[in-house]
Amino acid sequence: MGRLDGEVAIVTGASRGLGRAIARAFAAEGAAVAVVARTEQVWDQRLPGTIGETVAQIEADGGRAVAVRADLLDPADPARLVQAARDALGPVTLLVNNAAFTAPGRPPRDGAGTAPPPAPAVAADIAKADWPAFLGTRRSAFERHFRIAVFAAYELMQLAAAEMIRTGHGSIVNITSGASRMPGDGPYADRSEGILPGYGGSKAALEHLTQCAAFELQEHGIAVNALSPSKAIITPGVQYYSRRFDDVGSSDDFAEAAVRLSLVDAGTVTGRTIGHLEVLDGSFRPWAT
C-alpha cells in the first residue's frame, strides 16, 4: 500500500529535474500521474529529458502515468491539460506546480530543432556593457517568468481545486526557491550572490498566491503549501548556468518532501513556505497518515 494510493496527480515541468523526481516519487507511492511539460524531444543537450522518458521510467517501476504536452504560455493549455489528466486518469486530487522559466530560450513549437537565440538588448543607447543587466532585459522576458510560474499556476490551482472540492479532498504543492528572497534587505556589501529578478520575483508572487489560496481552501480540507529547496539541488536547469555550490541537496530527498507535504492536514499545515529539509525532519508535524 502506497501513501498516495488512489490519488491522481498533475506535476508540471516534469520532463526533467525536480519535476521528474516528484512525478516518479508520487507514482512510486501509488498515485496515477499526469506528467506535464512542453518537451517531447530533446532540443538542447544541456537540457536532457522528455515527458515520454519520465512516463517510461514510471511504468518501468510499476507505476501509472500519462504524458501530457502543454505550453503554459498558451492561455488554452491549463484547462486542456487538466481535462486530459481527468480523461486519462480520473478526478485530480494532487497538483504540483513546478514549471518555471529558468534557462534562456525554449524549444520551438514542434518540439524539435534548436533553441531560439536570446532576445537582443532593449536598445544600445539604454543598455551599455557596464550598466545594470536589467536595463538590457526586455519586459517580455521578465513577464515570461510570471506567465509560467504565476499566471498558469493560478489557473491550474483554480481548475484543480474545483476538482478537489467535488472529490472531497486534495492537496496543492507549489515549488518555490530561495531566489524569492534574494538579495534581501540592503545595503549590499556582499555582491557575490547576484540576483534573478524575473525568476525570483515570480517565486515571491507564487508564495503569496499560496497563502491566499490556502486561506480560501482550508475550510474545504485542501492544503496549499510552497516547497523550497533548503540547499541548492543540481538539476539540468541549474547546471545550464554552470554555477558551483559547496553544499547541495538531493532531488530524491526533495521529491520525498513533496510527497510528505501532499499528505498534510489542511487544519495543521497550510499556507506555508517550507524548506524541504524542514519537511524531512518533521518540524511541521503532525502529518496526515
CA angle 255, 157, 275 (to 5 degrees): 35
Q: What's the pLDDT tens digit per position in 234-246? A: 766 665 555 667 7
More confident call, 100 vs 44: 100
68, β-bridge pairs: 36
Q: Quick one: pLDDT at residue 45?
A: 66
Q: What's the pLDDT tens digit per position in 71-116? A: 999 999 999 999 999 999 999 999 999 998 865 545 555 544 444 4
Domains annotated for the chain, with CATH where assigned, are 8-104+113-184+192-280 (3.40.50.720)
For 18, which DSSP code?
A: H
Can you give the C-alpha Rg of the chain in angstroms? 19
Give the closest residue to 171 by CA, choosing from 3, 1, 2.
3
What pTM, to 2 d.p., does this model score? 0.88
Q: What's the pLDDT tens digit per position in 140-192? A: 888 999 999 999 999 999 999 999 999 999 999 999 998 899 888 889 888 87
Q: Quick one: pLDDT at residue 288?
A: 43
Residue type, 23: A
The set of residues, in sequence order, having a beta carbon less than 8 Å from that of 280 and lying 6+ positions away, is 253, 256, 257, 260
Residue type, 150: V
Q: Quick one: pLDDT at residue 28?
A: 98
CA–CA gap between residue 215 and residue 197 (Å, rounded): 27
Q: Quick one: pLDDT at residue 125?
A: 52
- Do residues 66 and 34 lie in contact, with contact meaning Cβ atoms separated by under 8 Å? yes
Give the closest residue to 54 by CA, choosing from 99, 88, 20, 27.
20
Q: What are phi and psi of 174, to 5 degrees?
A: -100, 130
